Amino acid sequence: MAEQPERDRAQTRLASIVIAAAMLLWLGLSLLGGELGLAPRFAILLDMLCLAALGWALLTLFLVWRRQRADKE
């Protein structure tokens, strides 16, 4: 049971890194794609990949939150 808080911290840290990296990549690659004149299908692909990363991070944070609430009860 002692390793559970450490696992929660590690998962929270990973989710926050994924959120920050996804947003920075999304902004940077969108700007770069506009400058290079890439096809819109690549912009949509980038949007979907970033949304998938953000969705995974949101789900991970929600599961950590539920687990912590269950441990307190």
pLDDT in tens, 45-69: 999 999 999 999 999 999 999 999 9
- Terminal-residue alpha carbon distance, the chain: 15
Q: Is the pLDDT of residue 72 over 90?
A: no
Domain range list for the chain: 40-73
Q: Check: CB of residue 19 under 8 Å from CB of residue 54.
A: yes
For residues 64 and 70, give the distance between their C-alpha atoms in angstroms, rounded to a whole number.
10
pLDDT in tens, 20-35: 999 999 999 999 988 9
Closest Cα partner for 57 from 10, 25, 16? 16
DSSP codes, 12-28: HHHHHHHHHHHHHHHHH
Mapped onto helix, strand or coil, the DSSP state of residue 39 is coil
